[in-house]
Amino acid sequence: MNGKEWEGNPLFVSRAMSKAERQLAIQDQLHKREKEAEMRNRSNLYVRFYDTITSEEELKQLFENYGPTTSVKVMRDEHGCSRQFGFVSFENENDARRALHEMDHKMINGKPIHVAM
């Protein structure tokens, strides 16, 4: 019955657990979520550039040679102007590391970029 719908609401059904068992289960879930968040952070790069006209598409083209990206974001001010930094998230931590090492301090349009985790 777990996951079935009853009067428009999903049911949660599991075996009865003692308080200690529930606390362990909750701790395990939290630990798993923390590990997943840590893995996402390891594949997310901060990119600082000195060109105010760099778009998200241009940033994506620069980094997609290292592997598939999950998101690319250029940060903008309230007027829509680039704040000259952004974020590139990779599907794979190893791709992010390789991009970090190869792209940090690389000259783009005659200006260096800074890449960090």
The residue ranges of every structural domain in the chain are: 43-116
What tens-digit pLDDT sequence spans the chain (117 residues)?
Answer: 888 999 999 998 888 889 999 899 889 988 888 877 666 667 889 998 877 667 888 888 888 889 898 889 988 889 888 888 889 998 888 898 899 889 888 887 778 888 888
The pTM (predicted TM-score) of the whole model is: 0.63
pLDDT value for 10: 92
| CA 107 remoteness from chain centre | 25
Domain 43-116 has CATH 3.30.70.330: yes
